[in-house]
Amino acid sequence: MMRRIAVLDAPTNLGLRPPTATSVPGCAKAPGALRDHGLLARLRARDAGCLTPPRYDPGDWRPGDGVCHAPEISGYSVTLADRIGAIIDRGEFPLVLGGDCSVLLGSALAMHRLGEAVGGRIGLVFVDGHSDFRHPGNASYVGAAAGEDLALVTGRGQADLAAIEGRRPYFRDIDVVVLGVRAQDEYRLDLQAAGITTRPVPALRAEGAARTAQWAHEQLADCAGYWVHIDVDVLDPAVMPAVDAPDPGGIAFAELEILLAGLVDTPHCLGVELTVFDPDYDPDGSYAAEIVNTVVSGLAPVSAPAAMPPRLLPATPAPPSPRRGNGRPQPSGLAAPAPLVTPAPAVAVEPIGPVVEDATPVEAAAPAQPDGPEPLGSRASAGPGLLRRVAAPEEESLAGREPVGPPASAGPALLRRTSPPEVGATPEPGDDDSPGPSAGIA
């Protein structure tokens, strides 16, 4: 039985600070830009519509006022949770197209309602270049919910956002796995102190994307199911500069594709959200096209003929509650557990360019072809050169499909497709050579 994908637009900017005093962030345009590249048709997905956000207007907000747009974000989150719950009630797989990272509050609320209905806990796989863990306990003030979403959904912060409907936290710390943050993230020690499981980029690249996805499954084995949050700034700005706060040291598109495929290749994955792509920094649409290619390939296990409908693992032998937390009947097909499936990556990768002598490969890499594409240039943060995709025989082992990155001190080895939209030199996000309004989410 195939799992049908339902695409819901959540084009909110409410969690971001304005790029300038008189402008509005561009992330609200992301759902339309991705749809323009045929996302729904290629996924054969149902169009679940668009949830229009309230007006973006920071007004006279000042530091110390709490989270900007808090009443609007709270109301939007409740409605978004209703829409996500309705999609899951139909037995479909929601793909939420943000908008900024504040959409996580709506998804988290929906997951908490669902966990209450089935008598179990729902986990979160948080794939993001930043921890988004700023809160009143570790910062002088808060303001942009997109830089505080992980703190809010784990119960830290003002009650009108962290405890909607009296639910606090939406996710317990032990039910959260953070993937892809930079090794130097400002709040990495706070994550560690909270007991939130984290795998930053150097460890992710050393272990490989497919094995990291399986590892995330294992960390959430006690949960009834889990939600996946993906902020595209997990990608390195050398391949994805069109984000609110680009930060060197990220992963590549091929790694994100393999990671996503591994995370969704189980009936316990309940849905995915995609955030923070800003089309204002993508005038020719090439980055939108690359995101669509990655999402379509990464979600292939969901709509494959052998895919199973979503199932939730019961927390106890007792039967689940017959009603949802919001009063709707419990969706069918959510009781019987299913074994985790080891994900098979869609592609393999092969290094081209210099090899780091002290890197320990999982398996000997195939020699580079003399007529292969040239590396895409060197950067201080790009490490030993880029990687390219190569065809992999079907019987190839999972370990053989994984790129092995160099140690953290050597920087990440990026990947690229063999026939991508032409990337060329990384465009500057703004006319003033600024990388974008980094204060918005970090």
The domains of the chain, with CATH numbers, are 5-303 (3.40.800.10)
pLDDT over threshold 70, residue 333? no
Could you tell me what percent of the chain has a pLDDT over 70? 69
pLDDT over threshold 90, residue 154? yes
State residue 271's pLDDT score: 98
Query: What predicted TM-score, i.e. pTM, was given to this entire model?
Result: 0.72
Beta carbons of 126 and 199 less than 8 angstroms apart = no
Lowest mean pLDDT among 127-141, 266-280, 321-335: 321-335
Better pLDDT: 309 or 436: 309
Q: What is the pLDDT of residues 62-105, one digit of tens each?
A: 999 999 999 999 999 999 999 999 999 999 999 999 999 999 99
Beta carbons of 413 and 403 less than 8 angstroms apart = yes
Mean pLDDT of 221-240: 98
Better pLDDT: 365 or 89: 89
Lowest mean pLDDT among 213-227, 283-297, 396-410: 396-410
pLDDT over threshold 50, residue 358? no
State residue 421's pLDDT score: 45
State residue 365's pLDDT score: 39
Instruction: Say which amino acid occupies 38.
Output: G
What confidence category does residue 346 fall into, taking pLDDT thresholds of 50, 70 and 90?
Answer: very low
pLDDT over threshold 60, residue 342? no
State residue 411's pLDDT score: 39
Compute the mean pLDDT over every residue in the chain, rounded to the nearest whole number.
79
pLDDT over threshold 60, residue 350? no
State residue 135's pLDDT score: 97
Mean pLDDT of 410-435: 41
State residue 314's pLDDT score: 55
